[in-house]
Chain A
Amino acid sequence: MTTSTPKRPPSRPWRLSLSDPRVAGLFWQVLVVGIAVAVVAFLWSNALHNLSVRRISTGFAFLGREAGMPIADSWIDYTPKDTYLRAFIVGIVNTLRVAVIGIVLATVIGTLVGIARLSSNWLLARLAAVYVEVLRDLPLLLQLLFWYVLMQGLPAARQAFKPVEGVYLSNRGLILPSVPLHEANWWTILALVAGAIVFTFVRRRLIAQQMRDGKTRPAWPYALGLVVALPVLVSFLLGASWSIMLPELRGFNFVGGLTLAPEYFALLIALVTYTSAFIAEIVRSGIQAVPRGQSEAAKALGLKRGFVLQHIVLPQALRVIIPPMTSQYLNLTKNSSLAVAVGYQDIVSIANTTLNQTGQAIESIALIMMVFLTISLGISLFMNWYNARIALVER
């Protein structure tokens, strides 16, 4: 074999005919792009004309104007006197609030149900299967309306259900006890997070050392020091108070505590149960995708059940689970826009109100799209990073 650089084939002269693949390729591309540009230009000129006829202004200047739109359920300060921009930010926060908590809860419940479907207990496996089958085969919007109607049918605040002291369920929503967070509390939480991050690095070093010389080194003293002692010390030094505030019934409503409005609670339940059914199927098929020989071999080595699940089966199953899980997370985020059906003011609902008030349809819908494309991109990037991290390292 010669090792010289491969010779390029002699370039043929161009023939101006569709039988020349290069000419044909160019022709089709110009044609398709031309059509696309022409259609967009046609629609755009129509839009400009219609907007001027209807006296609708264009551009994003309306964001600076007073919104005059009441928002009941908001985590940041907002009054109807604030601008549209602030209303949109409230909407984004509300969307993220339901999406992030929904993703966490759906993952936990979905994983449990998925494992339950593989249980050797017949009744448990059956119940999990019924859960998955019923929730998957009903439209999410129907489920959402159903939960919302149930929520509205709950008794008034005075006759609220009280399953545990401090937890009330009424037509005002779910009221939970809360811990008021002051500055000292935040520093403690920060210390906890920082300690946990440092601990993961320490643990990784310990494992690397064990790989080198084979000696096991206990990690628990570090855990005790970094994750427990450090936050406790910070809390003590700054004098943080962790008193739990119980909600109280005063008049017709509750005072204190953390309130989940019925709209938010119904949306959260619907999203979590619906998505968890899909996640359960993903987890089940991921675990089943790990060959039986793997867990049998591990058992033959005398490893314990929990160890086998944690170190042999789950790491392999995760590689199958992560990509479809990403798309479920994206679905949950996009489905949170159904909030508009029950009147929870997420970004779509607020953009819709803006659209009705200002008539600026193109800008409002463009804002929805921008927000969702950004969130989708964020989730995809994070999950791709995680997927690359757990990918099989081939030797």
Chain B
Amino acid sequence: MSSVAHLPQDPLPIGPRPAPRALGGHFTAWVRANLFASIPSGIMTLLMLVLLGKACIAFWQWGIANAIWIVSGNDSSACRALRGIGACWAVVPEKYRFILFGTYPFDEQWRPALAVLIFIALFVVSSRRSFWRKELFLLWAAALIVIGCLMWGGFLGLSFVTQDRWGGLPVTLILATFGLAFGFPLGILVALGRRSKLPAIRSLCVLYVELIRGVPLISLLFMASVMFPLFMPDGVNIDKLLRAQIAFILYAGAYLAEVVRGGLQAVPRGQYEAADALGLSYWEKHALIVLPQAIRHVIPPLVNTFIAFFKDTSLVLIIGIFDLLTTAKTAIVDPAWQSFSVEVYVFVGVIYFVFCFAMSRYSRSLEAQRTQG
């Protein structure tokens, strides 16, 4: 199409465009474009500014101006005098050791603290792309063993501490991390089973995934705490924390299996066929060719599942295991501090938020890298 014959020979002359109307300086221009672009938008902005200002002033007065930050010697009378007017942040310095570490022996609490630091270091290392190698598995195994030794003790002069005295943040991290460390391989196996050509194995895997995903986590936890002992032979008594941990592994396995299955479906058929043509066995084909590609596809949804899972560990409150939320709730049973639950929940909320927000930022950066690369 080279002809422009249908255009008039001499198009009407168009004068130069007028210069854009000046909107003012840099800042005013931005405000006009983003806050007061139209009349409804301007009204909306003003309305929100008023509400936001009111909320900020109210929070300032309650949370900062009238708040009590510290009291001496477990004496909450100053706080109670200001109830409803000012926050009592003093409850946090008073109770933080119990909230963070539960009933772990007070003088030994450096051990769970160190375990928490190891957990955080493990997460940071695992998030770096340059560490995604086989050695990472060894590192995880080593870290989890060290954490177990630290928490239990019983050697090198460390006193032995039974699981029922563990509590707080380490328990939350243990439930989440061990749940993932064992649930992830389980999820991969189940995802492979669900795509298997063998009908018996496929239906078993479908049954497992759909049963677990169809019921609330609480009913699984009830099962672990009430029903599980019924199913054990005489004399076998498994600790409550371990039972909840098993329930979490089964739960994580079912959800992660669905995520991994999505990744497996995204691997082109040609990859399977090429692996078959090379004469690789079923396990070689999946371990070397298919899974590395499949998992790379689903890293952002995997991280989102991790976040959901981390939050879900708080449900053990209902079966009475001392995780971070349970210790927080127990800390305010103390009659002196009973009426300051909001402050304690805010403190615990900040801890949960830091972990989850870091993970969700990370997931977003991974997604951004993927859409770029």
Q: A372 near B360 (CB under 8 angstroms)?
A: no
Residue of A29, A123, A124, A348 with most chain B CB atoms under a 10 A cut-off: A123
Does A46 count as interface, using CB distance less than 8 angstroms?
Answer: yes
Q: A137-B307, A138-B353, A142-B314 are in contact. Are A46 and B232 (CB under 8 A)?
A: yes
Q: B219 near A348 (CB under 8 angstroms)?
A: yes
Partner of A361, one of B218, B227, B314: B227
Contacts of A355 in B (CB 8 A): 222, 226
Measured between alpha carbons, how far is A123 from B37 in the docked complex, in Å?
A: 12
Q: A141 near B325 (CB under 8 angstroms)?
A: yes
Contacts of A138 in B (CB 8 A): 311, 349, 352-353, 356
Measured between alpha carbons, how far is A334 from B220 in the docked complex, in Å?
A: 12
Contacts of A142 in B (CB 8 A): 314, 325, 345, 348-349, 352
Contacts of B214 in A (CB 8 A): 369, 372-373, 376-377
Q: A134 near B200 (CB under 8 angstroms)?
A: no
Q: A121 near B35 (CB under 8 angstroms)?
A: yes
Q: A141-B314, A146-B349 are in contact. Are A47 and B200 (CB under 8 A)?
A: no
Measured between alpha carbons, how far is A123 from B41 in the docked complex, in Å?
A: 10
Query: B350 to nearest A CB, angstroms?
Result: 9
Does A184 count as interface, using CB distance less than 8 angstroms?
Answer: no
Q: B233 near A365 (CB under 8 angstroms)?
A: no
Residue of B201, B211, B307 with most chain A CB atoms under a 10 A cut-off: B201
Binds A, one of B44-52, B70-78, B101-109, B284-292: B44-52
Q: A341 near B317 (CB under 8 angstroms)?
A: yes
Contacts of A46 in B (CB 8 A): 230-233
Q: A136-B360, A361-B226 are in contact. Are A123 and B48 (CB under 8 A)?
A: yes
Q: B307 near A372 (CB under 8 angstroms)?
A: no
Q: Which applies to chain B's interface (DSSP): helix, strand, loop or mixed?
A: helix
Query: A125 to nearest B CB, angstroms?
Result: 9
- Number of residues on chain A facing chain B (CB within 8 A): 52
Measured between alpha carbons, how far is A78 from B37 in the docked complex, in Å?
A: 58
- Number of residues on chain B facing chain A (CB within 8 A): 53
Does B4 count as interface, using CB distance less than 8 angstroms?
Answer: no
Contacts of B41 in A (CB 8 A): 120-121
Contacts of B348 in A (CB 8 A): 142
Q: B312 near A334 (CB under 8 angstroms)?
A: no
- B-contact bits for A133-177, CB 8 A (1 contact / 0 none): 110111111100110011001000000000000000000000000
Q: B342 near A149 (CB under 8 angstroms)?
A: yes
Query: A10 to nearest B CB, angstroms?
Result: 21
Query: A194 to nearest B CB, angstroms?
Result: 35
Q: A139-B325, A334-B216 are in contact. Are A145 and B200 (CB under 8 A)?
A: no
Query: A136 to nearest B CB, angstroms?
Result: 7
Q: A121 near B356 (CB under 8 angstroms)?
A: no
Measured between alpha carbons, how far is A25 from B282 in the docked complex, in Å?
A: 12
Q: A29 near B198 (CB under 8 angstroms)?
A: yes
Among residues of B, the one whose C-beta sits closest to the C-beta of A40 is B231
Partner of A137, one of B201, B215, B356: B356
Partner of B200, one of A29, A49, A377: A29
Measured between alpha carbons, how far is A283 from B352 in the docked complex, in Å?
A: 26
Q: B218 near A340 (CB under 8 angstroms)?
A: yes
Does A28 count as interface, using CB distance less than 8 angstroms?
Answer: yes
Q: A139 near B200 (CB under 8 angstroms)?
A: no
Q: A146-B345, A341-B317 are in contact. Are A123 and B197 (CB under 8 A)?
A: no
Contacts of A383 in B (CB 8 A): none
Q: A338 near B37 (CB under 8 angstroms)?
A: no
Partner of B218, one of A29, A153, A337: A337
Contacts of B357 in A (CB 8 A): 133, 137
Q: A33-B204, A142-B348 are in contact. Are A340 and B223 (CB under 8 A)?
A: no
Q: A33-B200, A46-B232, A140-B311 are in contact. Are A134 and B353 (CB under 8 A)?
A: yes
Q: Which applies to chain A's interface (DSSP): helix, strand, loop or mixed?
A: helix
- A-contact bits for B230-266, CB 8 A (1 contact / 0 none): 1111100000000000000000000000000000000
Does B34 count as interface, using CB distance less than 8 angstroms?
Answer: yes
Q: A32 near B200 (CB under 8 angstroms)?
A: yes
- A-contact bits for B284-320, CB 8 A (1 contact / 0 none): 0000000000000000000000010001101101100
Q: B45 near A123 (CB under 8 angstroms)?
A: yes
Q: B200 near A369 (CB under 8 angstroms)?
A: no
Measured between alpha carbons, how far is A373 from B222 in the docked complex, in Å?
A: 17
Among residues of B, the one whose C-beta sits closest to the C-beta of A120 is B37
Measured between alpha carbons, how far is A391 from B198 in the docked complex, in Å?
A: 32
Partner of B341, one of A30, A43, A127, A149: A149
Contacts of B211 in A (CB 8 A): 369, 373
Does A390 count as interface, using CB distance less than 8 angstroms?
Answer: no
Contacts of B227 in A (CB 8 A): 361-362, 365
Q: A139 near B311 (CB under 8 angstroms)?
A: yes
Partner of B215, one of A43, A47, A149, A373: A373
Does A252 count as interface, using CB distance less than 8 angstroms?
Answer: no
Q: List A42-58 residues whose CB lies under 8 Å from chain B.
A: 43-44, 46-47, 49-51
Query: A357 to nearest B CB, angstroms?
Result: 13
Q: Hey, which bits of chain A sit against chain B, CB under 8 A?
A: 25, 28-30, 32-33, 36, 43-44, 46-47, 49-51, 120-124, 127, 133-134, 136-142, 145-146, 149-150, 153, 334-335, 337-338, 340-341, 348, 352, 355, 361-362, 365, 368-369, 372-373, 376-377
| 13 pairs, CB–CB < 8 Å, chain A vs chain B | A50-B230, A50-B231, A51-B230, A123-B34, A136-B360, A137-B311, A137-B352, A137-B353, A137-B360, A138-B356, A141-B315, A146-B349, A372-B215
Q: Hey, which bits of chain B sit against chain A, CB under 8 A?
A: 34-35, 37, 41, 44-45, 48-49, 52, 84, 197-201, 204, 211, 214-219, 222-223, 226-227, 229-234, 307, 311-312, 314-315, 317-318, 325, 329, 339, 341-342, 345, 348-349, 352-353, 356-357, 360
